[in-house]
Amino acid sequence: MLSELAIRNLGVLTAAGAQPGPGLTVVTGETGAGKTMVVESLRLLKGDRADASRVRTGCKKAMVEGHFTVDKPERDAVVELGGEIDENGEVLITRSVTDQGRSKAYLGGRAVPAGVLREVTENLITIHGQHDQLRLMSPDAQRDAVDESDPAIAPLRENYVKAFDTWRELARELKNKTERRRELAQEADRLRFAIEEISRVSPQAGEDESLATLVHRLQSVDQLREAASTALAIIDGDEDSFEDASAASALGEAQAALAAADDEELTRLADVLAGVTSQLSEVSADLGRFLDNLPLDPEALDEALVRQHALKGLTRKYAPDLDGVIAWWKKAETKLGKLDVSEGSLEELKRKVARAEKTLRGAGQKLTRARDTAARALSEAVTGEIRALSMPNSTFGVVIQPIKPTATGCDQVEFQLDGKKLSSSASGGELSRVMLAIEVIVSSGGSTLVFDEVDQGVGGRAAVQIGKRLALLARTNQVIVVTHLPQVAAYAQTHIFVSKDVEKEQSESAVKVLEGEERVEEIARMMAGMDDSATGRAHATELLQRAREFTAGHAE
């Protein structure tokens, strides 16, 4: 729900703020005062395209801010994106547009692309205007309206989409393999040759580095043995000598002499020598193992060089390093498994496609049956609504015709009015009432619904009925309506008035909430400019009273 809206330098609005109520909020004002800028500001907050021409003349930037109370899905989305929810459980959405057409969006204080706003606010705000009425003419929008009218359709549609994706992927694979059979067979041969070449070598991860170390050691084995033997003899002494002149023995004697002295400092140094002696023992053991592991086989170097050459051959052909070769090898084996174009493989793939198509058609039939049921219910419900909206002789119908399977089903949905296609038979006013009727029926509640010129081309009793339907819709939704009809404005719980000051060098508009006598005067003004007439104010008062009685009588 929208709790607060702030607008700066948008159209004729310099600095305006409004606090729509939780039920029905109407926005009224004289022509040109900037009422539609309220709707435009909400479109910006929804992530719609930013239009530089909307920036107030002479200003560099327009900005819109909206505080929204959000439910858990939207709240989680905001937090995941790094935005913040305030202590009231609200999120601040901000959108700015410069006179050069550059736009910035912020969600909970975090900069985000406009597309993210569209995703987060998809179930938060729904706007109905002339453009949206035209969108209702498309078969896709009509099909979606049918689907939304019955909760049982959603899981059936989800199952159908999964079946369609599976079938389409298998069908594409079969078509690709059939059409490119020779080409794929040649590619499979190339992959098979490469896999066999790599498999013969069977490289291991990190083998090139360990092999390089081994080759270096084999090439210098004599020098390495001499160096290690000399060092070991110095540490442990010469086994052939009768004298013990080893470094380990000398250090041991030095450590014993210091330990025997009755002096704190010498005792500390004795401990240090003990540590050195221990390390020296470890070095001696490591040198012994090093000498034991030095290769004695004179052919080992040739074998290591041959192996190293084989590995380098692979890195020259398949990847810059051995890890890359191994990764390519695994990927090639996976790809080869999918390139089987033998007769047996193709026949098995055909059977998979047939099974997937059967599953798809079964899911499509269930979805079609559910849509047929929903279409009949929607036809009856919308017919009842539009007849209550001063279209007493009209009949709304939903026709579903079979088509080839698509990503959304096997059905084409067409809305009709009195047996004719809605897009070609309905006037602007009738279309507005049909759209309102569908929203009344389909809306699940809990969102912000915005209607711009929903009362276009209507008046009299039809206008009263539109006001009543909007009031009923506002029992479970926040409804914001831009209207020029007093019969609609009278049903609002919150009345926002946009006034225009034309005496200034550049026209400016202001926004305020009307209450009491101010609201009576505005309703009277909307009744053919009768705000300065006692009769007009009396009529306005009566209209407001009747609206209050209706709303109270239909309160949940």
Boundary residue ending a domain (314, 338, 362): 338
**217 falls within a domain:** yes
Render pLDDT for 184-219 as a digit per residue (tens, 0 to 9). Answer: 778 778 888 888 898 888 888 888 888 888 787 777
- Going from the C-alpha of 282 to that of each of 236, 248, 277, the distances in angstroms are 12, 11, 9
pLDDT band of residue 547 (cuts 50, 70, 90) is very high
**Is residue 390 in a domain?**
no
Kindly state whether residue 413 falls inside one of the protein's structural domains.
Answer: no
- Full residue range of the structural domain in which residue 65 is found: 2-137+422-554
The residue-averaged pLDDT of 340-360 equals 85
In a shared domain, residues 194 and 121: no
Side chain identity at residue 515, one-letter code: E
- 99 and 229 co-located in one domain: no
pLDDT score recorded for residue 391: 83
Residues 310, 432, single domain; the answer is no
3-state secondary structure (DSSP) of residue 99 = coil
Same domain, 326 and 207: yes
Q: Which two tokens stand for residue 126?
A: 């729904």
**pLDDT value, residue 437:** 87
The total number of residues shown for the chain amounts to 556
220 lies in the same domain as 87: no
DSSP string computed for 214-271: HHHHHHTHHHHHHHHHHHHHHHH--TT-SS---HHHHHHHHHHHHHHS--HHHHHHHH
Q: Is residue 280 part of a domain?
A: yes
Sort residue 457 into left (φ over 0), alpha (ψ -120 to 50) or beta: left
Domain boundary residue among 310, 338, 366?
338
124 shares its domain with 205: no
Residue of higher predicted confidence among 141 and 239: 141
Examine the domain organization and report whether 129 and 217 are in the same domain: no
pLDDT digits (tens, 9 = 90+) for 36-59: 888 889 999 999 888 888 888 889
Give the pLDDT band (50/70/90) at residue 236: confident
pLDDT for the residue numbered 431: 80
In a domain, 178, yes or no: no
Structural domains of the chain, count: 2
223 and 133 share one domain = no
CA distances from 273 to 263, 277, 293 (A): 15, 6, 30
* Domain CATH code at residue 63: 3.40.50.300
Last residue of a domain, one of 320, 338, 356: 338
Q: Give CA separation, 448 vs 313, 463, 477, in Å.
A: 67, 22, 6
Kindly state whether residues 28 and 115 are assigned to the same domain: yes
**Separation of alpha carbons 539 and 525, rounded Å:** 11
Identify the pLDDT of residue 44: 92
Whole-angstrom Cα distance, residue 277 to residue 354? 79
**For residue 114, which of 123, 102, 129 has the smallest C-alpha distance?**
102
Phi, psi torsion values for 46, nearest 5 degrees: -80, -5
Query: How far is Cα 369 from Cα 152, in angstroms, rounded to an integer?
Result: 11
Structure tokens given for 412: 């084409």
User: The whole model's pTM is what?
Assistant: 0.65
Q: Are residues 206 and 127 in the same domain?
A: no
Q: What is the rounded average pLDDT of the residues 351-361? A: 95
Q: Are residues 119 and 21 in the same domain?
A: yes
Note the pLDDT of residue 133: 66
Residue 92 has pLDDT above 80, yes or no: yes
What tokens does 532 get?
């300065």
